Amino acid sequence: MQYRTVGSTEVKVSEIGFGTGGNAGLMVHGSFDEQLRAIERAIELGINYFDTSPDYGDGVSETNLGKVLRELRMRPVITTKVEVRAANLGDIADHVERSVDASLERLGVDYVDIVQIHNGPVATRPDLRGREYRILGIEDYLGRNGALEGLERIRRAGKTRYLGFCCRGNDGGPVRQLIDTGLFHLVNIIYTLMNPSGAVTPPRGMRIDTDFGQVIPYAHEREVGTAIYSPLAGGVLTDNMVSGGEPHPLAAAAQSDAGDNARFQQRRRQADQAGGFSFLSRIEPLLVQAGIRFSPRTGQPSLAQAAIRFILMEPGVTSVLGGFSDAQQLEEVAAASGAGPLAPEEMARIEMVWRANFGS
């Protein structure tokens, strides 16, 4: 396992982080023994960074993570988050404090290393409804009694060491504005083989739904770290998915949650193209031609490992947050750290795949 420093801080984290989100299912729907085995194995493999949120299972993920870490008597680097919803817009700073206090109680710790706002910044206040929290107006970040004020309060109180936020795409201007405050240390962002716009300009011919605006190198130049979430495009970039396999039982259980199921099914619909044959069946031979997908049974890299190695080639990336359903998935992804970059000829072929828009 290799390690990278979070921006301008002294915190060193493993290149592979342990994501505890609901999609993989382990930290919300798994048994204590399953969670214990996976986290114990992660620590054995050198993973020292865990990313969680009160939104993951409505606090269940934080609670379970805290239980396992107490059982193991381990204290890794931990990031948790705050979701700002419509009901919180009148007292965002106070809500940040309340949310973090509740997270600390569930985790069983007196501080976390990083607290992030889970909403991505946008130029104008969005029309938040119900429990939606994906985005937040920049003034609600920076204004009086805003998210940043709340984050600064908990930092001064010693409840976190560093601050961060999430990038949701199509928001390059507001994201840069937050980075330029000099007050944030870590940005969570998407950067994948399916959508590399977080670090590079997509080549002509490649179509993307969401533009992440080359935020990663911008942050890197200003000594702000980045953690990559959904690195396998919601499970699309796995041998199991391209071969038509079924989700892991714990991931399938996660899909029974209304929000997670809707997002998962949307990804599957986007992946399947009209005309009677699948985008996924089309991408596999193209990636095989590029030399980046081999059978793990032969001891060669899997598609997931190739996808992670691609991400780790970007110097602005601090950690890749894997979402694991079991220890086997964990081991597969962890093996990508230290495996080295994809070869220049592989990258040249990948760019041709991009320019052909994955053959569509």
Over residues 211-250, the pLDDT tens digits come to 999 999 999 999 999 999 999 988 878 777 666 667 777 7
What are the beta bridge partners of residue 106? none
Distance CA 81, CA 58 (A): 12
What is the mean predicted confidence (pLDDT) over 245-260?
61
Residue 277 banded pLDDT, cuts 50, 70, 90: very low
The dihedral formed by the CA atoms of 73, 79, 85 and 91, expressed in degrees to the nearest 10: 90
Nearest to 147 by CA among 108, 198, 109, 181: 181
Residue 25 banded pLDDT, cuts 50, 70, 90: confident
Helix (H), strand (E) at residue 278: none
- Total-model pTM: 0.90
What domains can you pick out in the chain, each with its CATH number?
Answer: 3-234+307-344 (3.20.20.100)
Residue 345 banded pLDDT, cuts 50, 70, 90: confident
Nearest to 27 by CA among 1, 78, 63: 63
CA atoms within 13 A on the CB side of 8: 13
Lowest-confidence pick of 29-33, 278-282, 330-334: 278-282
Best-predicted range by mean pLDDT among 259-273, 274-288, 345-359? 345-359
Q: What is the pLDDT of residue 289?
A: 56
Q: Is pLDDT at 286 greater than 70 in this prediction?
A: no
DSSP state of 210: S
Phi, psi for residue 70 in degrees, rounded to 5:
-65, -40
Best-predicted range by mean pLDDT among 184-188, 272-276, 331-335, 336-340? 184-188
Q: In this predicted model, which residue has the larger pLDDT, 202 or 244? A: 202
